[in-house]
Amino acid sequence: MPPSKTEAAYRLLKSQIEDLTLPPGAKLGEVPLAERLGASRTPVREAIRRLAREGLVRFAPGEVAEVAPVSLAGVRALFEFRQILEPAAARLVTRDGRTDPERIAAFHSLLSDLRAVRAGIDEAGPVGTDGPADGPTDDRRAAAVRTFHALTERFDQALIAAVRNPPLAKTIADTRGQTARLRAIAHAAPGRPALSLGEHLAMTEAVVAGDPDRAAGEVARHLTATLDTVMTALTRGDLPASVDVRM
């Protein structure tokens, strides 16, 4: 069953905000968006309101919608919040998985896929050792990195789905849109995807091994490393020119 027009507009706009195709500060006029999406203004308006509830869109003076800005204070506050929520969720999920293996079944399959991606990257070898940058080896490496990006989202969704505490799961889920946009910034840093892959392997291995404290610790370490990477990119200006960073 195809998605509704509102859902289709929401998914497209959210995707473009997350990958910075629609950068912070971009105006979201209902009429031009409706024309571009081939829809009426009503589904576009509803999609914008939904994105506003997720913190990805704000209404500037005059009720003009725009992509929410990225601010250093906002990034730090978001990660401080995640540092409270996500290690706790990992600890609970890992603990529950000891007596309810089905609860962490998604992490077993995720671990297998993460290891396969690591093997693919290792087989490709260091960048530039096998021909030009657009050669077969680098193509394989790029494909593995794209697969890994999808796996990071699978980890987050698996954690949300496995938490028995509904308020905790919902609160984590509500941060996903903002987190995904910052992930695109973090993964743009040279060498960061490989480091993040190792961190996701460590987190997933801890959950599967049934070690709650280790799982919580690995999640906390991953969040700290990601925050450091994002803050470095924001303060150095290692971003597309269209991304306006505010203090």
Burial class (CB in 10 A: 0-12, 13-18, 19+), 118: middle
Position 177 pLDDT exceeds 50: yes
Q: How does strand 64-67 pair with strand 70-71? A: unpaired
Burial (CB < 10 A; 0-12, 13-18, 19+), residue 24, is buried
For the chain, give the percent of residues with pLDDT over 90.
51
pLDDT at 123 over 80: no
Q: How many CA atoms lie within 13 A of 81 on its CB side?
A: 15
Instruction: Judge whether residue 116 has pLDDT over 60.
Output: yes
In the chain, the amino acid numbered 240 is P
- Distance between CA atoms of 9 and 3, rounded to whole angstroms? 9
Question: Binning pLDDT at 50, 70 and 90, where does residue 245 land?
Answer: low
Q: Which runs of consecutive H residues, i.e. helices, occur in 64-191?
A: 72-99, 105-124, 136-162, 166-174, 176-187
Q: What is the average per-residue pLDDT within 197-222?
A: 98
How does the average pLDDT of the chain come out, rounded? 86
Q: How far is CA 147 from CA 13, 144, 185, 189, 238, in A?
A: 22, 5, 17, 17, 24
| Beta carbons within 8 Å of 138's beta carbon, 6+ residues apart | 124, 127, 128, 130, 131, 132
**Could you report the per-residue pLDDT of 39-63, keeping only the tens digit for each?**
889 999 999 999 998 889 999 777 7
Question: For residue 235, what pLDDT is reported?
Answer: 83
State residue 136's pLDDT score. Answer: 54
pLDDT tens, residue by residue, 210-226:
999 999 999 999 999 99
> What's the distance, CA 178 to chain centroid?
8
Q: Are 81 and 213 in contact (CB under 8 A)?
A: no
Q: Mean pLDDT across the stretch 115-140? A: 63
Q: Looking at residue 247, what is its pLDDT? A: 52
Average pLDDT over residues 80-101: 97
More confident residue, 126 or 176: 176
Least confident of 2-11, 68-77, 141-150, 177-186: 141-150
Contact 24/9 with Cβ under 8 angstroms?
Answer: no
Q: CA nearest 197: which of 236, 141, 137, 237? A: 141
The pTM for the full model equals 0.81
Q: What is the DSSP letter of 104?
A: G
Residue 82 in this model has a pLDDT that exceeds 80: yes
